[in-house]
Structure 1
Amino acid sequence: MFGILGPVLADGEVGGPRPRALLALLLLDAGRVVGTDRLIDALYGEEPPGDATNALQAQVSRLRRRLGVPIERQPAGYRLVVDPDDVDVHRFTRLARDGRQALHAGEHAEAARLLRDALSLWRGPALADVEAPFAEPQAARLAEERVAAIEDRADAELALGNTDLVPELRALAKDHPLRERTQSLLVRALSGAGQQAEALVTFEDTRERLADELGADPSPELAAAHLAALRAEPLRSTSVPAQLTSFVGREDELKRVAELLTGARLVTLTGPGGAGKTRLAIEASGPEACFVDLAPADGSTVPQAVLDALGLRETRMFGAPGDADPVRRLVSALADRALLLVFDNCEHVIGEAAALAHRLLSGCPGLRILATSREPLGITGEALCPVPPLREATALRLFAERAAAVSPQFAMDPAVVGRICAALDGLPLAIELAAARLRTIPLAQLETRLADRFRLLSRGSRTAAPRHQTLRAVVAWSWELLGVEEQDLLRRLAVFSGGVTTESAADVCGLSEVDADELLTGLADKSLLDAQGDRFRMLDTIRAYAAERLAESGELDAVSRAHAEFFLELAQTADPHLRRTEQLTWLARLTAEHANLHAAMRWAVDAAPELALRLIGAQTAYWRLRGVLSENIPLAARLLDKLGPETPPGLEEEYVLTVLSAGPSEMDRHRHRAEAIMNTLDWPLRQPHLLVAWATFAGPPDPDEPPTPMQRRMATVDDPWFRALFHFSQSYLALFNGNIDTAEPDLRAALDGFREVGDRWGISQTLDGLATHADLTGEWTRAVELTDEAIELLDQLGAIEDLAELWARRADRLLHGGDLAGAEAGYERAVELARRGGVPAILASAYLGHGLLAARRGDLPGARRWYGRALDECGGDWLSTGTRSRVLTALGRVTDDLAEAGSLHRQAVRSALSQQFGIDVAEAVEGLAGFTAASGDPGQAAYLLGLAEALRGRAPVGDPDLAALRRRLAGHPEFTRGKSTPAATARTHLSHSL
């Protein structure tokens, strides 16, 4: 073996500096001829000896004798006769190339293996002991290739979910502060390890260095890593958690699970806590599965837990409250996917988990579910796989591996360890808890203490659930070995759901952050907590035991209140940031604490209703930006019952938000009271998103009615976000009621306001409004450009459902401009996103677009099929009525049966009228006019066309064409009875005549 990736390496004696340099030159081109002039220049530089050719020949001869390897003399130079694969640099190059190709092909495990092999060939800096003119540039080139290979290997490892790369990447990034790929990999690794704060700081530091030293912006790769950190995205596309310890044994069980999954669509691993069900499920599921941890869930949040694991929202941002159906969303999103879902820890939500599993399996033929539970789910088609104790040999191996990890000096005594594992009934968790104690307790003493603890058990005096009793006993034993401060902390941590940070543990449990960090780390060392980045999580079995100790201590209410107050303060601190440039950072922080925020709500609803009201107010913007509504419905409804007929003074806004979170029936029951509050609120509001939530609930106001007190007050507020929202709402109503000219100034003012504060949601909505304006005025290229900018912003917010809607609108605008191919691609993208997000209403819009394309191309049967699919997807909320009316109109235009066409057109008008938007009513009326003309009634058709023109705002009072419009409307005197606009008269007449 020869090498230059470090000091020069050869099988024989090389000699001094000059022979080493010569050998290195020949190794760089092993098996190929190296020219004489090149060798002389490389060895001697600008001062060659007088007879350089003879000097070189002498050097080659001496090296040949020492190596015992042929160095052939050729007419043009010399050739070292060795296989390039016997030279480390050439083997490294081949392996690194193959690894990079595997990485690009998505074969991450193979890429990681090849690149690890390549990098293992390095023994230090390349050409480390070579002193010659060529050495420095060659060493620099090879060092660059080494860094690129490290980056490729890190990329592959991160794709596999490996979070152990942070120290290595941190050191590499320190050496290469301007190397963007290294920095982006570090950001990804930090984020994947749960260290979002450091990931974001790393990005900002790099961005500033690039700007200061290079005058450059971050590359797309670095920007994408930053966005993933902001969203707290997992390293890989699935949510199967990466494991930090080896998986020992269970070969038979793995084979059994694989066999069951080939024949059954629901397989449940059963067994007591600590049996290793979760780890077995992770190992059996493979990297492409989606892992759903149900431990923090309650009955109402099971569907939301699945949505979260899939990276989906249950509704669009600021979707209509009360219309969210997370189960329907899941069925829609998974209907066409082949996927394995892992439902972990089902036992405490067994009924809800079973019902959801049944619904998903019934509606999603490509779906399989692997569940873990202490009892079966009990539904048809379930295949059970009991998880037995570890066999003796496997138990000993597990104990030995875990013991060596905490005590490097551990000496295995099979007899002693065998007795310990037998006393622990072969339960993996019990074995790991015991092995963790070897850090401070010798093996023989460990056996004695366990023997004392399990004396009754070892004599066979057991209850009906021996394995459960064993685990409880070992947890209790581990508890008793803790110090008082450790016991206090572990007990109080039982109120946390979904993990704890040093900051939250210190605040809730009454410690300094230094003490909290030390105690948390100590509990993790004892296997009582699981450290994941900057968060610590407690196994459900240990959490249940800690909760019992907390209840016995008399501290439960006080610690629960401290927990709720901490997370209320966090939500209140975050709320204003969710309307500013830094909204992604704070959205990620709240998402990481979602389970704790929900746990705080559950406690406060019953124990502290006013605190619960404040929690709802502080979280409303977060819930809506994340698209989370349904899990709060039962809590909000229960809170309204707790409050009774009185609204706590000073919390009126929070009360209305609670009504809007409580589901359709509660919203109807409390609507009048909520309306009264909305009309008498003091301004400015303390809860700015109340305006958006109320508008989404109430729907658009009647344009012919005077402004409400709320609208009048809103126009007077100086806050830039409020002011932007006011201009946007005004422009929205103007635009969709045909007042196109008056809409644009408000849209521009709204855009300036939202850009000033940095609210991506507001900017994207306003850009879409400007795109609609451009579309209506025939500026289709500009409409598409504005839509593209809005899409980019929504992509940063991770709003798949809203993105689907914008892609459908983008396609509409391309269709209007005559770009049929671009429109078709846009509708396909909208369908893809809508299916992935499970958004039927957007599917309806995209299917409508495909139908319009088919009709434009003359394929009327195809158009009818698309329109039929679109109707099937239309929902019942007011936001869907415009789509329904457009589909009915389009279907009426391609229907052969005249009577059916008339019925469709009239349905379209009725549907549009229920929404109040003049622009949708105008399109429906125009379709009805076409039908009327085809039916042989040109006078009525002309009249209806006049109505459509009025509804589009093209004939306002004072317009020169008003007389012509009035002539079309002859015979309908209500048009001249003092109504403010032709649109008002048109709407009134249609309402009475249809």
Structure 2
Amino acid sequence: MRFGILGETRAWHDGGTEAALGGPARRALLALLLVRPGEVVSSDRLAEELDPGGGLSAHALQSQVSRLRTALGPAAAIERAGAGYRIVVAPDDVDACRFERLAREGRAALGDGDPGRSVALLREALKLWRGPALAEVAVAESETARAAAVRLEELRLGALEDRIEGELRLGEHRAAVPELRELVGRHPLRERPAGLLMRALFAEGGQAEALVVFEETRRHLAEELGADPSAELAALHRELLSAAPSPSPVAPPAQLTSFVGRAEEVTEVAELLRVARLVTLIGPGGVGKTRLSVEVAGVAADEVCFVALAPLRDGSGLPQALLGALGLRANGLQLGSGPQTPVERLIAALSDRMLLLVLDNCEHVVEETAVLAARLLAACPRLRVLATSREPLGVIGEHVQQVRPLADEAAIRLFTDRAGAVRRGFTADPRLVRRVCAALDDLPLAIELAAARLRTLDIDDLAGRLDDRLGVAARGSRTADERHRTLRSVVAWSWDLLPEPEQRAARRFAVFAGGATAEAALRVCGTDGETLESLADKSLLDPAGGGRYRMLETIRAYGSERLDEAGERESAQGAHARHFLDLVRTADPHLRRAEQLEWLRVLAAEHDNLLAALRWAVGTSDLATALELLASASTYLWIRGASASVAPYAITLLDMVGDTPSEGLTEEYVTCLLLAASGTAGRPVWQRHRAAAEKALAAAWPGTHAGRYPAALLLWLMRNASETDPRSAFALVSSQRDCPEPWTRAVAWYVTGFGALGEGDAEAGERALATAAEGFRALGDRWGTALALDVLAGLADGRGDRTRAIALTDQALALTGELGALEDSADLLVNRGDYRDDPVAARADYASAAELARRAGSSTCLGAALRGLGDIALREGDPDAAERLYEEALERIDPHWVKSLGNRVRTLAGLGLVAEARGDRPAARKRYEEAAEAAGGPDRLHLMGLPEPVIEAVSER
């Protein structure tokens, strides 16, 4: 039987039915007995607590106890003990006791450095609360109840604070801020929530807000208690005060038309960017902010990254959008867990980089953009930001530049230029052109839309339609939304000129995110090629090159509204999702073959559309479509390093599916779990579903026939390699050596090779890895081939064949270069440096690796490169430089990544050699012991491909 006193006193039988406890007196009696289950409560105390006036006799108390026994039945015994009563139940059957246990375990996990487990335990504990503790007892008049309620409420508050701290450690800063603000407001004298709020605000770039929180807390403490903040809170305040600013990016889009009327503004903004680090171009929609930013970027900086934010539905995907525009993978190929948050990766990638970051169309995510821009600028002193928005970001230090409509003559020139492009030899009375432009508020986009109509209209007809249809647009409606006052009227007018078949195609095109190929547009819009060409002629669609069309976001937003009005959204988005599900189904096998690069480019171009299709499928609870989309796209997401971009959808989907997927979707369920686990919030989900997924995967891949998604096997191994006992994962994957699917066989041999190496059989390991490399190479898979070649190179070096080791690494580098894998290339360069006898060439490799690691924002790869440079310094007799490099490397190398283990051991051994060179034998011995412990014991050093001097130093000394 289960009991609840954290709220209204209740009891439930094991079957889930609730026991009928009766009136308030019996509920209060049960609550008082459950405060300390198993402990005797005297009859006098019970009578006093139940009736403070003293009117409850011993007989009446006995009667209440008897009735309560009857209500509870035999599942809970209320015993007479001495001069009182006690209830005999297991502590965990009482919600208050269970809450206390979970809260203790959650706090212990937090102290042990496991915030994921801590948060899961504490969330479970806090869910047990249904209202005020001991709600059935008159707490104000009951000493026992009052003391118990106060203690439980204090524990509840502590558990809440522990849970929030765990969430902050997991990088969930933004979500925690509102809850922390409310908590600080209710408990202004409690310092811990104030400190947590300060940390959360600072992590999101709100240093000034964090300082305000400290000042308000300090004032409350002084006024209410006459006390100063604690040493811990004061230290946090000093930390905030002292905080100082301390791959190829997406280039601005190439322009197909001339730039008219803003040469002076380009010069002015470019000069402003020389002295200001954040400049925001503001103005109404269609005024030309994006085009101006492109022109400014061309003259203001050598390295530019252009980030189009219009495709984002909300600000949650902002960091991932920046990572993608910078050309950074969401995850590397390294085995293990514990990835950095996207914001941390951005800071690492940009910290020492001189770059102009153009953030285009910020208005719909302005708050998130402001927070992220402030944080990046504070952490990256050489970074500059040029933003376009319909309102300022509101960040301290921001320079706002108003972009206004074109001057009269410039507007006329723009109209004439664009009209001449659609009607050869176009001429018109400048006064008539001026009238058209004035009716369009001299907005460049509106002028271009109007000029495009001259392909089918005369200038006189156009001017007449403007007089009739755009009277509101000339001045703007005072009742319309600010951002739509003028341009909405222009778009509406252009839209209304379309015949119905073109309107239908245009509004259905609005479901695409990031444009579409002609094939996709024809299928989803249910139209023909002539209609698409007509929409492009009228500037409703823009031919974007490569056979793709795109729609300006303002027009797309308008079309989306028309789609809802027509009642066609479900139909259009369903067709959109089906098209891209077919696309990823078709692409998946090609991603493991010779045509890998071609299909990676195809899917990369459709990444935003894939996310949009997935978002729709999850949002409409179309579980089958969502699961198949994720599974079919998993190979692409993993190779591209973009699995974290779908992790939130995968987590939501797993919550909807539960532990038992529909028949026929077990493999999709497993792949969904693997993708969910790639995000920073995926650890609890992984722990909850792992056992069920392992059974499903084993059933789907028995070894006698191939499953549908071969990448799931390698993903399963990579995810499980960091578990305490990964042997079952290794056994499952290596058992596929006879699988009829060739890529799976190559993966199985790759894993078999690692198993043999772990058992000390280098020859068998090398044979298995060579078989894997041959299998990947025969298929044309660059990614798998590079993985196998990397390990084979290490084995060749272990035999002393450095020439072969370098040659194999060169081959792997060529493959990762084709894939654009910066982190993997950096890792390979470090390895090649390790294989070289020439210190000059080795230094060059380490330096190149460090540069790639910085561009990728990979702290561990950078640590490996610094370790290599430390080795060079030690060989050249500079122990001070070597020690400095080793210490920095040790701070950066993640000890939980399997592929980082060798570099960690070598770094610790290098520090031992430095100490030994200085004659400090105790310090040297300590470092050697740490190195041996990191390797799993001295007898395992030879299995790690370490240089003989390192092995000897660690083993003998």
TM-score of the superposition, structure 1-length normalised?
A: 0.66
Measure the CA separation in 2 of the matches of 1:308 and 1:544: 24
Whose Rg is larger?
1
4+ runs deviating over 6 angstroms: 700-704, 914-918, 920-929
SS in 1 for 2:877: coil
Query: Which stretch shows the higher mean deviation, 484-493 or 635-644?
Result: 635-644
What is the deviation of 1:467? 7.0
Distance in 1, matches of 2:421 and 2:697, equals: 62
1:780 aligns with 802
Moved more, 914-923 or 887-896: 914-923
- Separation in 2, partners of 1:573, 1:627: 20
Aligned 8 A contact 1:275 1:427 in 2: yes
Change (3 A) 1:419 1:913: same
Distance 2:328 2:729 in 1: 37
CA contact (8 A) 1:456 1:462 kept: no
SS at match of 1:368: strand
Instruction: Let me know the Cα RMSD of the aligned residues.
Output: 2.8
Structure 2 CA distance for aligned equivalents of residues 346 and 916 of structure 1: 57
Q: For residue 891 of structure 1, what is the aligned residue in structure 2?
A: 911
Superposed, 1:975-994 pairs within 5 Å as: none
The one-letter code matched in structure 2 to 1:628 is A
CA distance in 2, matches of 1:645, 1:703: 23
Contact kept in structure 1, 2:370 and 2:395, CA below 8 Å? yes
> Take 1:610 and 1:357, find their aligned partners in 2: how far apart are those partners?
38
Q: Which residue of 2 aligns with 1:733?
A: 755
The structural deviation recorded for 1:751 is 2.2
Cα 1:722–1:784 change in 2 (3 A) is: same
Matched, 1:660 2:660: no
CA contact (8 A) 2:513 2:608 kept: yes
Aligned to 2:636: 622
The answer to whether the aligner puts 1:858 opposite 2:858 as a matched pair is no
Residue of 716, 724, 732 corresponding to 2:746 = 724
Equivalent residues of 2:909, 2:928 under 8 A apart: yes
Given that 1:606 and 1:639 are in contact with CA atoms closer than 8 Å, whether structure 2 keeps it comes out as no
1:900-915 correspondence to structure 2 within 5 Å: 900-913=923-936
* Residue 267 (structure 1) shift: 0.7
Tell me if the contact between 2:886 and 2:907 (Cα under 8 Å) persists in the aligned partners. yes
The one-character-per-residue Cα deviations of 1:688-707 (angstroms, maximum 9, x if unpaired) are 11111111111178899688
**2:349 equivalent in structure 1:** 333
Quote the residue 1:840 is aligned against: 859
The amino acid that maps onto 1:855 is L
* Cα 1:531–1:673 shift into 2, 3 Å: same
Provide the C-alpha distance between the structure 2 equivalents of 1:830 and 1:768, rounded to a whole number of angstroms: 15
> Is 1:249–2:282 an aligned residue pair?
no
Change (3 A) 1:919 1:361: farther
**What is the Cα deviation at residue 775 of structure 1?**
0.7
Aligned to 1:175: none
Secondary structure (helix, strand or coil) at the match of 2:405 reads: coil
Deviations 1:300-332 (A, max 9, x none): 332232233233323224664662533333222
Deviation at 1:561, TM superposition (A): 1.1
The residue matched to 2:306 in structure 1 has which SS?
strand
CA displacement at 1:421 relative to structure 2: 1.6
The equivalent of 1:550 in structure 2 is: 563
Shift of 1:401: 1.2
SS of equivalent to 2:400: strand
Do the aligned partners of 1:294 and 1:346 also contact (CA within 8 Å) in 2? yes
Answer yes or no: is the 8 Å Cα contact 2:287–2:403 preserved in 1. Answer: yes
Cα gap change, 1:393 to 1:641, in 2 (>3 Å): same
The SS at the match of 2:593 is coil
- 2:592 alignment partner in structure 1: 579
CA distance in 2 between counterparts of 1:623 and 1:668 reads 22
Distance in 1 between residues matched to 2:768 and 2:284, nearest whole Å: 63
For the residues of structure 2 that align with 1:467 and 1:922, how far apart are their CA atoms? 62
Query: Is the alpha carbon distance of 1:550 and 1:364 closer, same or farther for their aligned partners in structure 2, counting shifts above 3 Å?
Result: same
Q: Is the 8 A contact 2:722 2:897 kept in 1?
A: no
Partners in 2 of 1:916 and 1:531 — Cα distance?
64
CA distance in 2, matches of 1:246, 1:521: 22
SS of the residue corresponding to residue 427 of structure 2 reads: coil
Alignment counterpart, residue 356 of structure 1, candidates 343, 363, 372 = 372
- Tell me: CA distance 1:583–1:324, structure 2 relative to 1, closer, same or farther (3 Å): farther
Q: Which runs of 5+ in 2 are unaligned?
A: 1-246, 677-681
Q: Equivalent residue for 1:285?
A: 297
Matching residue of 1:415: 431
Tell me if the contact between 2:909 and 2:954 (Cα under 8 Å) persists in the aligned partners.
no
Give the CA deviation at 1:501: 1.3
CA distance in 1 between counterparts of 2:867 and 2:475 reads 74
Query: 1:592 maps to what in 2?
Result: 605
Provide the rounded CA distance (Å) in 1 between the counterparts of 2:868 and 2:757: 21
- AA aligned to 2:877 is G
Q: Residues 662-701 of structure 1 correspond to what in structure 2 (within 5 A)? A: 662=676, 663-683=682-702, 684-699=706-721
Aligned pairs for 1:152-163 within 5 A: none
Instruction: Determine the C-alpha separation between the residues in 2 that align with 1:646 and 1:559.
Output: 31
Matches of 1:261 and 1:336 in 2, distance apart?
18
In 1, the alpha carbon distance for the partners of 2:335 and 2:393 equals 33
- Check conservation: 2:440, 2:473, Cα contact below 8 A: no
Cα deviations by residue, 1:603-653 (Å, 9 ceiling, x for unpaired) = 111211221111111111101111112221211111122223432222222
Is residue 406 of structure 2 the alignment partner of residue 387 of structure 1?
A: no
Contact 2:525-2:572 within 8 A present in 1 as well: yes
* Distance in 2 between residues matched to 1:375 and 1:706, nearest whole Å: 56
Native 8 Å contact 2:859 2:893 kept in 1: yes
Q: Does the C-alpha gap of structure 1 residues 454 and 736 become closer, same or farther in structure 2, counting only changes over 3 Å?
A: same
Matches of 2:557 and 2:751 in 1, distance apart? 50
Q: Which residue is 2:73 aligned to?
A: none
Where structure 1 has 5 or more consecutive residues not aligned to the other structure, the ranges are 1-232, 935-994
Deviation, 1:569, is 0.8
Instruction: Measure, in 2, the Cα distance between the counterparts of 1:724 and 1:461.
Output: 66
Query: Contact between 2:634 and 2:711, CA under 8 Å: does it hold in 1?
Result: yes
Identity %: 48
Separation (CA, whole Å) in 2 of partners of 1:691 and 1:480: 53
TM-superposition CA deviations, 1:438-483 (whole Å, max 9, x none): 1112112211111111334558864366773221111111111101
Contact 1:702-1:916 at 8 Å conserved across structures: no
Tell whether the 8 Å contact from 2:773 to 2:785 is kept in structure 1 after alignment: yes
> Deviation at 1:431?
1.2
**Correspondence 1:468 to 2:488:** no
Cα deviation, residue 713, structure 1: 3.7
Q: How many residues matched?
A: 693
SS at match of 1:290: strand
CA spacing shift, 1:921–1:443, aligned 2, 3 Å:
closer
For the pair 1:494 / 2:532, whether they are aligned, the reply is no
Cα distance change, pair 600–862 in 1 and its aligned pair in 2 (3 A):
same
Are 2:625 and 1:643 aligned?
Answer: no
Counterpart for residue 769 of structure 1: 791
Q: CA deviation at 1:723?
A: 1.4
